[in-house]
Amino acid sequence: MSRDLAEARVHAIETHRVTAEPYYEPVGDEVRLFEAAYADRIPVLLKGPTGCGKTRFMEYMTWYLGDRGRDPLPLVTIACHEDLVAGDLVGRYILSTSGTDWLDGPLTRAVRAGGICYLDEVVEARKDTTVIIHSLTDYRRVLPIEKRGLIMEAHPNFLLCMSYNPGYQSALKDLKHSTRQRFVAIEFGYPPRALEERIVAHEAGVGAEQAAGLALLAEKIRNLDKDAGAEGPSTRLLIYAGMLMRRGVGARRACEIGVVQAMTDDEVLQSGLREVV
Amino acid sequence: MSRDLAEARVHAIETHRVTAEPYYEPVGDEVRLFEAAYADRIPVLLKGPTGCGKTRFMEYMTWYLGDRGRDPLPLVTIACHEDLVAGDLVGRYILSTSGTDWLDGPLTRAVRAGGICYLDEVVEARKDTTVIIHSLTDYRRVLPIEKRGLIMEAHPNFLLCMSYNPGYQSALKDLKHSTRQRFVAIEFGYPPRALEERIVAHEAGVGAEQAAGLALLAEKIRNLDKDAGAEGPSTRLLIYAGMLMRRGVGARRACEIGVVQAMTDDEVLQSGLREVV
Amino acid sequence: MSRDLAEARVHAIETHRVTAEPYYEPVGDEVRLFEAAYADRIPVLLKGPTGCGKTRFMEYMTWYLGDRGRDPLPLVTIACHEDLVAGDLVGRYILSTSGTDWLDGPLTRAVRAGGICYLDEVVEARKDTTVIIHSLTDYRRVLPIEKRGLIMEAHPNFLLCMSYNPGYQSALKDLKHSTRQRFVAIEFGYPPRALEERIVAHEAGVGAEQAAGLALLAEKIRNLDKDAGAEGPSTRLLIYAGMLMRRGVGARRACEIGVVQAMTDDEVLQSGLREVV
Amino acid sequence: MSRDLAEARVHAIETHRVTAEPYYEPVGDEVRLFEAAYADRIPVLLKGPTGCGKTRFMEYMTWYLGDRGRDPLPLVTIACHEDLVAGDLVGRYILSTSGTDWLDGPLTRAVRAGGICYLDEVVEARKDTTVIIHSLTDYRRVLPIEKRGLIMEAHPNFLLCMSYNPGYQSALKDLKHSTRQRFVAIEFGYPPRALEERIVAHEAGVGAEQAAGLALLAEKIRNLDKDAGAEGPSTRLLIYAGMLMRRGVGARRACEIGVVQAMTDDEVLQSGLREVV
Amino acid sequence: MSRDLAEARVHAIETHRVTAEPYYEPVGDEVRLFEAAYADRIPVLLKGPTGCGKTRFMEYMTWYLGDRGRDPLPLVTIACHEDLVAGDLVGRYILSTSGTDWLDGPLTRAVRAGGICYLDEVVEARKDTTVIIHSLTDYRRVLPIEKRGLIMEAHPNFLLCMSYNPGYQSALKDLKHSTRQRFVAIEFGYPPRALEERIVAHEAGVGAEQAAGLALLAEKIRNLDKDAGAEGPSTRLLIYAGMLMRRGVGARRACEIGVVQAMTDDEVLQSGLREVV
Amino acid sequence: MSRDLAEARVHAIETHRVTAEPYYEPVGDEVRLFEAAYADRIPVLLKGPTGCGKTRFMEYMTWYLGDRGRDPLPLVTIACHEDLVAGDLVGRYILSTSGTDWLDGPLTRAVRAGGICYLDEVVEARKDTTVIIHSLTDYRRVLPIEKRGLIMEAHPNFLLCMSYNPGYQSALKDLKHSTRQRFVAIEFGYPPRALEERIVAHEAGVGAEQAAGLALLAEKIRNLDKDAGAEGPSTRLLIYAGMLMRRGVGARRACEIGVVQAMTDDEVLQSGLREVV
C-alpha cells in the first residue's frame, strides 16, 4: 500500500467531529424534535431554503447530542449533485502495490464509526445514490457493500439525515415516495426579523442599527419575492453586506454588491430591489 | 491477492441468513402461496406500494422456509436503480498482485449458495439487469457468466423474486412482457385498520389508543388519496409518528412532522392533511 | 495468468452442449426447415412471441443435428439488451501478472468451436452488436477480432441464429435491412389448444382435465387480446398456474396469481380476465 | 509483452489478402472506373443498396489490382456502427509486463502495409471516425497517430474506400460535405434480371429454371417496392431461397421463409408479397 | 513514483504567482470593493461581458493584495466547461510503481497554499463542480476530499472567486441559488471611451489618433448592438485591429479582419458594421 | 518505460515541419495579413468552405514564415470532432513499467516547440476543447496542464489558428463569443475561374482546355447552388474529375463520378447537375 493510500485509509473519523459549540440560534422546537427522532434513530429530512441555517443546525446537533461537545458525534456531510454515484458514497478498490485495497467512502465511514451522515440537497443526487440508503433507513439498518460481498450493520449511533429545498420546482428530480417515506421531516425557514438582527450583528460584527436595517431589508424583499414566487436573500447575504459595511463600504453600495447584484441579473428586478434598499 | 480482496471473496453467505424470527403479520394467504411457488421454484413477483411490508415478508419467508429458522435460506436483497449494470449483479474481475481475481456479485452468490435473490423495485433497473435473469427464471435455471466463459447451474434451493410498485405510472420503465411472464405475482396492500393498529403498537411501543388513532388517520388519508390518485402514508410513517409521541412530542406535532411534512411539500395538500389530523 | 483467468480461458465449450433430449413438441415443419437451412449454413431468424418455445427449439435442434445427442452441437445463447457492446460478444484483454491475456467472448467461442450462436431478442441489442455479425452471416463466414489484429474463420459447423418478437412495436429498434436480409425467417406462435394441453400436462404434472382447462383459458384470452392488440399469456404461465394447482392452490386462485396478476396491473383488464377465468 | 499481445502485434497482414479469384460478375464499367481512380489513389465511395455486391466487388478489385491474385492488395474491411470510436481504427496502448505496448488498429495496419481500407456503411460511424480519415484522403496522405505523437505517411499502395446506402433516409447521419467531397462516387444497383439469374444459379446451385423464377420474382417485388419507397429483396435472399429449394423445401415455402418472412413482419405487406410469389 | 509524477507533485505553487505589476486601469471602485471583501474572505463573483478585463483584474488583485507584488498571492485560474468534473478540480490517484499516488487538483493546490482560486465562466461548469465549492464558500472554509477520506481546512489566505457573463441567456445553465447566494457580486463593463483609448494605445502600440478612432468605433457598435441585444466587440479585438494597423495593414482592412469578420458571419450584420467602420 | 512509449515521447517535432514549398496560389492579401498577425502573434481564424485550400494555406505559411523553408515552423494540425476531449489535446499519463509517464498531446507539443497549432473545423469540437485554448489566445500565452500541476509558457514562435466553415448552419455549435473574440478572421472562398483553371491543370495534370471546362463547370454549379443555399463542388473534386479524364475516362462519365454522384444522392439535383455538365 502506498503512503498516500495508507494515510487515506487510517484517516481518523475524528476530523469529522465538531468540538467547539457552533453558534446556533434555535427558531422553534427543531432541537427537541431532532433529539426525539435521534433517540429512536428515525431518519430526518430538513426542508428549507438556501442559507437558512440547515447545515449549521446539523453541526449544532452533533455537538449537542454528543454530550454537548464532550463526545461529539462525527458529522459526515455530502453535498449531492447529479454526478455523484453510489461508489462515491460506499467506497472503492484502489490499486496499490499489494494488489487492490479497499477505501471506505464517506457513507461507509459514518456507518462504521456511528456518526450522522448528512446528504445535503439530496434531490440533486442520482437514483442509485438514494436507493443505496434504503436499507439504512428502515428497521434493517444495514449497508450492503456489494463490491466487498458483505452487509455492514450500522453502528448504534449512526443516523442518516438529508436536506431538501422545496422551493426548487424541479419535479423531475422529486424524491421517490419509496425514499421520502423513510424520513420524518422538519421544516426550516428564514429566522424572524428580531432573531435575524441578532444573527447578523453577531456574525458580521456590525452595530445593532445596521443589523436592524439589513434584517428589515430582507423581510421586505422576501415579502416581495413571495408574491413573485422567487427566493429571497439568505441570511448569509445579509451578513456579507454587513461585513462590507464594517470594512467601510457605504450601506447602499454594500447592499448593491451583497444583495442586489448577488441575487439577480435582471435589470427590472434589480431596480425593484434598489428601491427597497 | 490482497487482504481486502481475499476477505471479500471468502465472505460467508452466512451474513445473509435471517436467524431470528422476523416480526411479520400475515394479511391473507401470501405465506401459503409463496410456499407453493417455492416448492416448484416458480419465480415470484411481489406487487404493492411503498412501505407495506414486502421486504419484511421476504425475510420472514426465508426464515420460515428454512425450517422456521433452524436452517434459514440466505436472502440476497438488491435495491435496483437505473445505474445498476449487469456486472454489479454477476461479478467482476478485480486486479490483484496475482493478476486478476474474480469476485462474485450478489446474484451469483445467491445462485451458488442456494438462497433467495430479491430484486427490490425491479422496474428501476436497466434492461441488461432484467435480461440477465431470464435463464434463471425458466426451466434452464442457469446463469451465464460470460466474463468467466461458463454457465453456472443454480443451486437446487435458489429462487429469484422481485418486487414492483404498480402505483408508479412510469410506463416507459414497465417490465418487458418477456421478463414479466416469468413470474407469478402476489399482490400486497397496506394492512386493514385493526391489523395496522397492532403493528404500530408493536413497532412504535405506543399504547393501543394512540396506535388506533394513527391507524384511523392512515385509513382516512388513504381513502382521500385514492380519489386523488396519490399514494397514502406507509405503515412505516405511522410507526415513526408513534415513536415521536412516545418520546413526548405532542400528537398533532408528531403527525405534522411524521406524516404531513413527510408526505408532501404542497401547501394545499398539507392543509388538507392537517384537517384530517 | 491468475488461476481465475486460466480457468475462464480453458473452460470447455462442453458445458454448452445439450446432451439429454430436450422435451420439444414440433408444431409444424420447423425442424425440417431448420435442418435444410443448417445444411447450407444459412443463418436463421426465429420470429415469435414471448414464451412460445423458441429457446427450447434451439436446444432441441442442437441436440437433433448433433446426431440426436450423440455429438450435440455447442449452443451459445446470448440474451441481448441495449447495454450489450461488441466487446462483450467478441472478447477482451484482461490484465494479468503476465501483462494482458485475451479472453474469448461467447460469440468467438462459438465461432471457434463450431456451435450455434443464438442471439435472443436481437432487436434489443445495440447497433455495434448487430454489425459485428455481418461478416459471419454472408459468404465470408469470418469474424474480425480487431483487438487481436486478426480475422478468424468460422468453424465449418458454426451457424448464427437469432430471435425476435414482432409483437413489440418498437419501430426505432427495428433491425436494419442490411442485418435482416442476412437471415431466412421461421415464424413461431403459441401451440394449438390440443398440443398446449399435452405440454401443460407434461410440464406441470397436472391431470388432463386441469391442463385442458388451462389451455382453453389461454385460447380465450389470446382471442380477446388479439382484438385489443395485446400479448396473450405464454405457455410458461399456464404451466406455473398448473404447478400451483398441483401444490393445492385452488384453480381460481392459481389463475389469479399465475395468469391475471402476472399479466397486467390494470384493474379493468384484470376484471376482464377474471371473468374469462 | 504477454504471448497474446505479441501474437496480436506481429499478426501478418497476409490474412487480409484475397488470393483466390472471387466470383464477381461486372454490371457496368465499375472495374475500369475503380482501376482509373486507384491509379491516382483517388478515394472511392460505393453507393448502393444492401446485398448488391459492394463487399464482393472490393474483394475482387484487391485481387484484380494485385496482379490478378499474384500479389493481391491487403483488404481491411471495417463494418461501421455508431459506437465505433477513432481509437478502434487507429490503435491503442495495451498494458503489458513491459509497461504498455502499442497495438495498431485496422486503419493503421492498412496505412502501414499499403492495402485498401474499406469502411462499410460509413454513415453509421461517429463523427470522430470520419474526421480521422480526412488527412488520408487529400494530397497529404498521412495519418496522425496522436497517442504516439507521430504522423504516419501512407504506403504508396494505400487507398481509402467506403460504402453508403443512399436508400436509408437518415438525414441526421448524412455525411458531412467536408468528408463527402473527398471521394469520387460509383453507383451500384441490383443486377439486371439475366445477370441475376446467372448469379443465383451459380451461388445456390439450382437449375436455370428455378433461378429464372427467383430473378423474375425479385424484379417484380422491386418494382412494387420502388413505388412504395421501400427496399427490395437482395440477391443474397434469392440465393438463400434457392438453396432451400435445392435441399428439398417446396418453392412456395422456400420463398415464404427466404423472402416474405425475411423481408417484413407486416401482414398486409406479406400477403402482397405472397400474391407475387 | 515515476519522475513525471514526482515533478507534477512537487511543482511549486510559485509558478502561479504574478510577480510583475499587470497593466490594469481601474474603471470604478472595484479595487476597493474587492479589497474589502478579501479582508473578510467573502467570496466574490465578477459579472461582465467577454474581454472586458475580468481575468486581468484578478491578476492585478493578487499582485496588489500580495503587498503590491512583494508577496503576491498565488492565482489558480480554472476555465470552466461542461466536461469539467469534480475530480479535475480536487485531484486524483495516479498509478505509480509504488501503487497509487495522490495528485492535488488545482482547487486543492489553492486551498492548501492559500491563494485565490478563480473559476472563469462558472456557468459552463457541471453541477458537481459548483457543489464541491459550497463548503469552501461558507463559514466552514473546508474542502472535503472524499477519495482521501479527509476534510482539508483552507489556508487563511484562500479565497474562491468566479466570473460569469450575464449576457449569455442560457437559462438552463443558470447558477443555482444555493451556489449564487454564497458570493457578493461586482459588475464589470467595457471601459468608457477615453479610458479605452488609453488602453488600446498602450496595448497595441498605436498612436493616439488611431486609438481614438478604434474606441469611437467600439462605442458606436456597442450602442448599435445594445438595441439588437447582441454583444459588442471586446477591447481585445480593438487592440488586435490596432496591432494590424501598426504592422502596415490599412485601417479599413484591419477593422474588417479584426472586428467585422471576427464578430459575425451574417452578411447583413457585416455590412451594417462596415458602414459604421 | 516501454520501447513504444519511449519512441512516442522523443518523437521529434521535426516530422511536423513542411520543408518543400507547397504549391499554393494566393487569391488576395491573405499571405500579407497572416504575416502581419503572426508578427504580433495574434490568433487567426480562417473562414471558408470545404476544399478551398485553407489547410494548404497553413502549410504554405509555416514554410513561408520559416524563412521560406530554411527553418520552417512546425505545423500541428488537429481535425476537430465532437468526441475530441481536452486530454487528447493536452496529453495524458500512460502506464509504464516505471509507473506512469507523461505523454504530451499535440497542442502541448506545439506550445513547447513553438509551432503553429491549427484546429481544423473547430466548431465541431467540444466545449472543453475550445476553453482550454483561452489562456493561449490572450496576453497570457500559457497552457495550464492541470494533470501535471503546472502552467506552461508558450514558446515565442507559437501561434494558435483555427478554421471554420460558416456555410454550415449548425447554430447550436456556434463558437462562443468568448472564444471567437480571441481571433482575427480571414475569409476564404473558391478561387476565381482563371486561377482555378491553373490549379486544376497543375494538380490533375490535364491540358488547359480540359481544366478550363472543369473550372467553367464549377463556376456554373456554384452560381446555381448559391441560389439554392447549398455548397458547390470543391476544387478538389474538379481535380479528381481531371485525373479520371487523364486516365482515359470520358469527360461526361468523369464528371458524373467525380462531381455529380460525389455531391448528392438526390435524383432531382443530380439531373440538374447533369444538364450543366
> F180 to chain E: which residues are within 8 Å by CB?
262-263
As a whole number, mean pLDDT of residues E224-233 equals 69
Question: Residue E164: is its pLDDT beyond 80?
Answer: yes
Question: Residue C119: is its pLDDT beyond 90?
Answer: yes
Residue C171's pLDDT band, with cuts at 50, 70 and 90, is very low
> F7 to chain D: which residues are within 8 Å by CB?
148
| A130-144, B95-109, C112-126: least confidently modelled range | B95-109
- If one compares B169 and F233, the residue with the highest pLDDT of the two is F233
> D245 to chain C: which residues are within 8 Å by CB?
none
Across the interface, whether the CB atoms of B103 and A186 are under 8 A apart is answered no
**Alpha carbon F218 to its chain's center:** 22
Predicted local distance difference test score (pLDDT) of residue D143: 92
Predicted local distance difference test score (pLDDT) of residue D96: 65
Q: How far apart are CA F66 and CA F62, in angstroms?
A: 6
Q: How close is the nearest chain F Cα to the Cα of D198, in Å?
A: 28
Q: What percent of chain C lies above the pLDDT cut of 90? A: 50
Question: Residue E136: is its pLDDT beyond 60?
Answer: yes
Greatest mean pLDDT among D90-99, E53-62, F142-151: E53-62
pLDDT digits (tens, 9 = 90+) for A86-137: 888 898 887 666 667 788 889 999 999 999 999 998 887 777 778 889 999 9
pLDDT digits (tens, 9 = 90+) for E79-117: 887 777 788 889 888 766 666 778 888 999 999 999 999
* Mean per-residue pLDDT over chain A, rounded: 85
Parallel, antiparallel, or unpaired: how do β-strands D184-187 and A75-79 relate? Answer: unpaired
Q: How far apart are CA E211 and CA E208, in angstroms?
A: 5
Of E4, E9, E88, the CB nearest to F102: E4
Burial of A270 per CB tally in 10 Å (0-12, 13-18, 19+): middle
3-state secondary structure of F269: helix
The DSSP element (H or E) to which B142 belongs, if any, is: strand B142-145
Predicted local distance difference test score (pLDDT) of residue D242: 96
Across the interface, whether the CB atoms of A148 and B248 are under 8 A apart is answered no
Cβ of C2 under 8 Å from any chain B Cβ?
A: yes
Of A50, A121, A203, the CB nearest to E181: A50
Cβ of B4 under 8 Å from any chain C Cβ?
A: no
Residue with cell 476555465: E79
As a whole number, mean pLDDT of residues E209-215 equals 94
Q: How close is the nearest chain D Cα to the Cα of C27, in Å?
A: 16
Residue C175's pLDDT band, with cuts at 50, 70 and 90, is confident
Parallel, antiparallel, or unpaired: how do β-strands D116-120 and D142-145 relate? Answer: unpaired
| Cβ–Cβ < 8 Å for A158, A111 | yes
| Cβ–Cβ < 8 Å for C194, D268 | no
The DSSP element (H or E) to which D180 belongs, if any, is: helix D177-180
Residue C229's pLDDT band, with cuts at 50, 70 and 90, is low
Across the interface, whether the CB atoms of F231 and D177 are under 8 A apart is answered yes
Predicted local distance difference test score (pLDDT) of residue A11: 52
Q: How far apart are CA F258 and CA F240, in angstroms?
A: 6
As a whole number, mean pLDDT of residues E43-59 equals 91
Predicted local distance difference test score (pLDDT) of residue B70: 92
pLDDT digits (tens, 9 = 90+) for D14-46: 677 888 899 999 999 999 999 999 999 999 999
Predicted local distance difference test score (pLDDT) of residue A1: 46
> A237 to chain E: which residues are within 8 Å by CB?
181, 184
As a whole number, mean pLDDT of residues D140-167 equals 88
pLDDT less than 70: residues of chain F: 1-14, 95-99, 168-174, 225-230
Amino acid at D83: D
> A234 to chain E: which residues are within 8 Å by CB?
181
As a whole number, mean pLDDT of residues C123-151 equals 84
As a whole number, mean pLDDT of residues C14-28 equals 86
Nearest partner of E261 among F180, F7, C72, B262, judged by Cα: F180
Residue C118's pLDDT band, with cuts at 50, 70 and 90, is very high
Cβ of D219 under 8 Å from any chain C Cβ?
A: no
Mutate which: F164, F181, F188, vs E, most E CBs within 10 A = F181
Question: Residue D155: is its pLDDT beyond 50?
Answer: yes
> E139 to chain A: which residues are within 8 Å by CB?
56, 203
Mutate which: A109, A188, A240, vs E, most E CBs within 10 A = A240
> B16 to chain A: which residues are within 8 Å by CB?
151
Across the interface, whether the CB atoms of B253 and A29 are under 8 A apart is answered yes
User: Could you tell me which chains touch chain F, where touching means 3 or more CB pairs under 8 A?
Assistant: D, E
Q: What percent of chain B lies above the pLDDT cut of 70? A: 88
Cβ of F208 under 8 Å from any chain E Cβ?
A: no
Question: Chain D, 125-164: which have a CB under 8 Å from a chain C CB?
Answer: none
Q: What residue of C is the nearest CA neighbor of B134? A: C79
pLDDT digits (tens, 9 = 90+) for C67-91: 998 999 999 999 887 777 788 889 8
- Letter string b/e over residues C229-245, b meaning 16 or more CB atoms within 10 A of that residue's CB: eebbbbbbbbbbbbbbb
Cβ of A180 under 8 Å from any chain B Cβ?
A: yes
Q: What residue of A is the nearest CA neighbor of E171? A: A265
Of C99, C178, C183, the CB nearest to D1: C99
Cβ of B6 under 8 Å from any chain C Cβ?
A: no
* Mean per-residue pLDDT over chain B, rounded: 85
- If one compares C199 and E166, the residue with the highest pLDDT of the two is C199
As a whole number, mean pLDDT of residues C228-257 equals 89
Question: Residue C7: is its pLDDT beyond 60?
Answer: no
| Cβ–Cβ < 8 Å for A259, A217 | yes
Chains A and F contact (Cβ–Cβ under 8 Å for 3 or more pairs) = no
Q: How far apart are CA F99 and CA A2, in angstroms?
A: 13
Residue E172's pLDDT band, with cuts at 50, 70 and 90, is very low
The number of residues in chain E equals 277
> B233 to chain A: which residues are within 8 Å by CB?
181
> E237 to chain F: which residues are within 8 Å by CB?
181, 184
Across the interface, whether the CB atoms of D181 and F237 are under 8 A apart is answered yes
Q: How close is the nearest chain B Cα to the Cα of C37, in Å?
A: 26
Q: How far apart are CA A214 and CA B218, in angstroms?
A: 45
Cβ of B53 under 8 Å from any chain A Cβ?
A: no
As a whole number, mean pLDDT of residues E244-270 equals 87
Dihedral sign of CA atoms F230, F235, F241, F244 in order = negative
Question: Residue B9: is its pLDDT beyond 70?
Answer: no
Question: Residue C241: is its pLDDT beyond 50?
Answer: yes
Q: What residue of C is the nearest CA neighbor of D8? A: C148
pLDDT digits (tens, 9 = 90+) for A154-165: 999 999 999 988
Q: What residue of D is the nearest CA neighbor of F17? A: D151
As a whole number, mean pLDDT of residues B30-56 equals 93
Nearest partner of F36 among F56, F75, F65, judged by Cα: F65
Across the interface, whether the CB atoms of A262 and E181 are under 8 A apart is answered yes
Residue E224's pLDDT band, with cuts at 50, 70 and 90, is confident
Across the interface, whether the CB atoms of E237 and F138 are under 8 A apart is answered no
Q: What percent of chain A lies above the pLDDT cut of 90? A: 50
User: Who contacts F113 (Cβ-Cβ below 8 Å, separation ≥6)?
Assistant: F13, F16, F74, F155
Across the interface, whether the CB atoms of F100 and E237 are under 8 A apart is answered no
Q: How far apart are CA C150 and CA D5, in angstroms?
A: 12
> A80 to chain E: which residues are within 8 Å by CB?
131
As a whole number, mean pLDDT of residues A48-72 equals 92
pLDDT digits (tens, 9 = 90+) for A193-231: 999 999 999 999 999 999 999 999 999 988 876 666 567
> What are the helix (H) ranges across B70-207?
86-90, 106-113, 127-132, 177-180, 193-204
| Cβ–Cβ < 8 Å for E64, E20 | no
Question: Chain C, 61-100: which have a CB under 8 Å from a chain B CB?
Answer: 77-84, 88, 94-98
| Cβ–Cβ < 8 Å for E260, E272 | no
Question: Residue E51: is its pLDDT beyond 50?
Answer: yes
Strand ranges, E, within A149-206? 150-153, 159-164, 184-187
The DSSP element (H or E) to which F99 belongs, if any, is: strand F99-104
3-state secondary structure of B51: coil
Predicted local distance difference test score (pLDDT) of residue D1: 46
Grid cell, residue E261, equals 469578420
Q: How close is the nearest chain B Cα to the Cα of C254, in Å?
A: 9
Of A149, A178, A180, the CB nearest to B121: A178
> C42 to chain D: which residues are within 8 Å by CB?
240, 243-244
Cβ of F174 under 8 Å from any chain D Cβ?
A: no
- If one compares B68 and D151, the residue with the highest pLDDT of the two is B68
